Structures are given as structure tokens and as C-alpha cells.
Structure 1
Amino acid sequence: MITETQTSQYVDTPRWRLHYNAAGEGHPVIMLHGSGPGASGWSNFSPNFEILARQFRVYLLDFPGWGKSAEYDPTGENRFMSNVEAVLSFMNALGIEDAALVGNSMGGLAASMVTALHTDRVSHCVTMGAPVPGGPQLFFQPGGATEGLKVLFATYADPTPENFRKLVEVMVFDPSFATDALVNQRSATALANPAHLHNFLRGIAAMNIDDMGQEAVFDGLAKAQTPALLIHGRDDRTVGVEHAMRLAGVMPNATLAVFNRCGHWAQLEHAARFNALVAAFIKA
């Protein structure tokens, strides 16, 4: 089996030292994690990594401010535009001309934004549980933050074992996936660098959500001919399925796949189906 330690690597970019896991040969596939406390490339995609690495060169990237990557100072920054910069810097540092971007939640948002703004660098755009770019609806419904986001923010502010269990439980449809091992993994990753937790909350408090160049993003998405696969759990309590429907209506070469009995982590709850679907999509 491929292990985290065997595949762990670092690369220095102009702004950050980025951690990643890499394995396999073939077309590059860069997998981008979500924003929850304890998120990392490995924690989000360990059930998919070895399977996809049998067919592609797969990279699990830790964004700045998560996992083993450098700390992220949010002062004067926009988190989501910084993620775009991080992906491009990572690709440049490793000499990757273009790649399939596969992103969950915040990582899916990054994948769609890179596709919109730097179309030539993206061969395929795959999202799971991703918010549609733009505006306050990125985080909120008419009644306020979603159930999942409320738990996510609470866990950043108070990273207790009880809150990490609530976090994992709200992210999945089937409670059997909220195992002690997964809860402990997320908790250990988060507590390994408390500065990441603090900086995330600072960044959210200061963020101007509208300051993301959204007109350019939507214009780019509408023009991009990049093949896109938009996967979403019908029972996602963190980012509602309507986000994927709206994104599918904007991107001209998009396929929408809605997984039944599935929460925010389609790649975990339906790993075999996810792996097969993504591999076939990239190889087509």
C-alpha cells in the first residue's frame, strides 16, 4: 500500500513552501482539499490516491495554511485568489504545463477559478461539493450559514474532540463513515499546527467575499471549453446541491453527477464510484 510517509514531499515556491504527496505515472492529476480544520491532501483523498495513481501521476496538494504546508498570513489577502496562486505556483515549480484539477469544496472552487482565469493550464476540471464562485451565497443561504459551515467554524474556534466528531458527522450522509480513525486523523492534523486554525479565522473575519474578480471568473467559466465533471452529494449539508446545478448552467462543457445518499465528501462515501467515474472522465 502507498503510505503518507512514502509519498510525502515539499517544493519551494516564490511565496510558500508547499507540501504534497505524489505517486504514479502518466497525465498529471492535482487533487485539492477543502477548508475544514484538519484538512489536507492526504486526509481528503487517501481512499482515492492509490487507485488513481495506477493510471495517472497524482499529486495531493496541501494549500498554504493547511496540513504540512507553510503558514498563511491572511492580512490584505483574499483566501480564494491565494489558492489560485498556490496551484499555479505549485505547477510552475514542478514543471507541470497542464493538469487535471480535482477539488473538493474549497478545492473545487479553486479548480473552477483556475479553469476560468488560466484555462490553458487545466486539461480537466473536476469538483465535488464545490460552492459556485461569487458573492455572499458562497457561504450563506437565506437563513444564514449552512449546518455544516456552522460546525466547521465552531471547530476552528474550539478544536475539541467532541467538535471534530460533529464535524465529520455533518460532512457525511452515512454515519458509519464517521469512524474514530477519521475523527482522530482530522484532529491530529489540525492540532499539529494551531497557527493554521488561528489564521483561518482571521482570514474569514477580514475577507471581502465580493473582492474576487467574480465578473472575470464567470466570464472565463462561460468561455472555457475545458471538460468539467461536477459531482455533488444530494444530501450535502455544507454546500447545497444547487451550487453544482448553477455551475453546470454556466460551464459549456460540463457534466453534472448527483450522488444519492451522499454528503459533502463524495470521494469518501462513494470512493469506488468516484474513482471509476473520475478515471474514465480524464481518460476519455
Structure 2
Amino acid sequence: MTLTAENTTRWVTVDGHKLRYHEAGTGAPLVLLHGSGAGVSGWANFGANLQALSQHFRCLVLDQPGFGASGRPEVYERNYLRIASDAVLGLLDELGLEKAHLLGNSMGGGVATMTALDHPGRVDRLVLMAPGGVGVNILGPEPSEGINALMKFNADPTQANVLAWLKTMVFNPAVLTPELVEQRLKTASDPANIAALADAYATFYNPKMAEPLPLWARLRGLQQQTLLLHGRDDRVTPVEGSLFPARQLPNADLRIFSRCGHWVQVERKDAFERTVIDFLTHGL
């Protein structure tokens, strides 16, 4: 059966909010967590990979709170990573799953890392793809070129700005088909999506919501087998950001993909899928 967004859609209620997720496959549970791009959703990030990954795992592709079709608190009173981490745990609880593999892209990598650090018994293996907040950017600007383009687009969602942002996401601009650009412009221009992204990012810069220690300072406590994936030409979360966690994490390997920007699962789709399947099946 061909997997589509419609025939894989499921719903769960966590902390009074309806969350959408996509489910396919059998086997060890694998929760896939999207990044924070404008108009993003679980399906937009991982829908094209679901056919391959679901042959090996019970894939659960979550729309994190406020993104995609998932509900959200009206006001964020905690760091967004904590809100999203609680949603992951709530999904596992509602499905009766004791533990699962976590695969997180960008912001989703930060969510996966926080979940594994705070609830190690609920997380099996980790795949962190250009993870946000896990590395330390010591050479490039902060915020990065890609994050600045994203914030500019979110403030003024024009076609020119969405194209400028999307170009920072990839190595090969040919990936950016007119259909992809139009779809992202449509979803990202929705006022609810604009507010969700702005509100989530506001929690990252609010001193009152800051964590006692940043994620990168806690990495030695992460015992799970971890695979770090990074595009060599990433302009959103530069590849140098994975060097620190690759050295600090006690059980981690790092793979760097050439000819690839921030979307490893898109630009190096086949290699990404083979690498993830091998790691989650056999380990390091």
C-alpha cells in the first residue's frame, strides 16, 4: 500500500491538546521529530522516508505542539523543548509504549536529546540529525544564516522570502521544486503557523525560561547509543555543531554527508534511510 498523509493520520490527546501523528509499519517503535521551519509538519519532514523506514519499524511521525495540525497551549509558560518533550512522552503513554527509538531533525534533535536525558528509561537509541541546541557553534555567526532567513520570512511571508529561506536549507537548489516552494509558502503564511513559530522561538530567548544548564553541557550524561547525521554544507545548523557532541557523548558516531545541506533526509534520501535502518537494527 502506498503511504499518504491521509491514510497514516492518527490523533492522540496529551495534556488536553489534540496532537496529530502519522503511523506506519510494525516492529520496534520509532518516533520521528521534525524541526522548526516555517510551515513545518511531521509529514513535510519525513513523509517521503516513511515507505522505507516503515518496512523495519513502527514509525510514529509526530506534529509537535503548535506545528502541523497539532494543538498547543494558548500561552507558552515553559521552554518549548520541554513542552515538546512532554508531548513525546504523552504519545508513548497513550500508545502504551514503554520506550522507543527517537529520531530528531534540527529542533526535534534537541527535543529528542532532552527527552533521553530526563527520561533515559523511555528512550532506546537516538538519531540526531543536525540537532539544535546540542552542539556549540564557535566559528560561524549566531544566529546562523538560515535561522536569520527563517525569522525574516516568518515576519514577512512573501514568496521571495520563502525562497531565500529555503535556499539556505539545501546544497542543491534543484531540490526546491515550484510545488515544494508553493506548498511551504501556503502553510507557512497561515497566521496560526506564524504565531506558533514565533512563540516557540520566544521561549528560547526568554531568560525566565532558560534551562539551568544548556543541553550541550549535559551531554556526558547521555548513555544511549547515538548516531549524529549532518550535511557538510548545512547553513542552518553548521556542521561544526556536531563535532562537540560527537566528542562528548560516550556512545556516539558521527556521519557527515557531502553534497548536502540541512535536509539530509531529502538531499541524501537513500543514504539517510540505509544509515538509519542499519544503526537502529544493529547499533554502533
Asked if Structure 1 and Structure 2 have the same fold, meaning a TM-score greater than 0.5 normalized by the shorter chain, the answer is yes
Aligned residues: 279
Q: Deviations over 1:212-238 (max 9, x none)?
A: 24268744x313321100000111001
Equivalent position SS for 2:6: helix
Cα offset, 1:77, TM superposition: 2.1
In the alignment, what sits opposite 1:145?
A: 143
8 A contact 2:133–2:216 mirrored in 1: no
Distance 1:57 1:129, change over 3 A: same
2:220 aligned partner: 222
- CA displacement at 1:133 relative to structure 2: 3.3
The answer to whether structure 1 residue 98 and structure 2 residue 96 are counterparts is: no
Amino acid at match of 1:55: H
Deviation digits for residues 149-170 of structure 1 (CA, Å, limit 9, x no counterpart): 0111111111222222222221
Which stretch shifts more, 154-163 or 40-49?
A: 154-163
Q: Report the alpha carbon displacement of residue 111 of structure 1 after superposing the two structures with TM.
A: 1.0
Q: Partners of 1:88 and 1:176 in 2: how far apart?
A: 38
Structure 1 segments, 4+ long, off by >6 Å, are: none
Cα distance between partner residues in 2 of 1:214 and 1:150: 25
Q: Which runs of 5+ in 1 are unaligned?
A: none
Quick one: distance in 1 between partners of 2:224 and 2:232? 25
Alignment of 1:126-137 (within 5 A): 126-133=127-134
Are 1:241 and 2:243 counterparts?
no
Following superposition, the deviation at residue 23 of structure 1 comes to 0.5
- 8 Å CA contact retained: 1:28, 1:57: yes
Check the 8 A contact 1:129/1:239 in 2, yes or no.
yes
Q: TM-score, normalised by structure 2?
A: 0.91
Moved more, 267-276 or 201-210: 201-210
Cα contact 2:66–2:193 (8 A) shared by 1: yes
Once the 2 structures are TM-superposed, how far is the Cα of residue 182 of structure 1 from its aligned partner?
A: 1.5
Distance 1:67 1:83 in 2: 13
Corresponding position of 1:26: 27
CA contact 1:72–1:196 (8 Å) conserved in 2: no
| 1:205-258 per-position Cα deviation (integer Å, ceiling 9, x unaligned) | 453367124268744x31332110000011100111121111111210001001
Q: 1:154 corresponds to which letter in structure 2?
A: K
3-state SS in 2 of match to 1:60: strand
* Compared CA separation, residues 201 and 260, structure 1 to 2 (3 A): same
What is the identity percentage for the equivalent residue pairs of Structure 1 and Structure 2?
37
* Residue type of the alignment partner of 1:69: S
Please name the residue that 2:46 is paired with: 45
Alpha-carbon separation, structure 1, partners of 2:161 and 2:78: 28
Alignment deviations for residues 137-190 of structure 1 (CA, whole Å, 9 cap, x no partner): 67x976442110011111111122222222222100011111112212222333
Q: How many angstroms apart in 2 are the aligned matches of 1:216 and 1:170?
A: 25
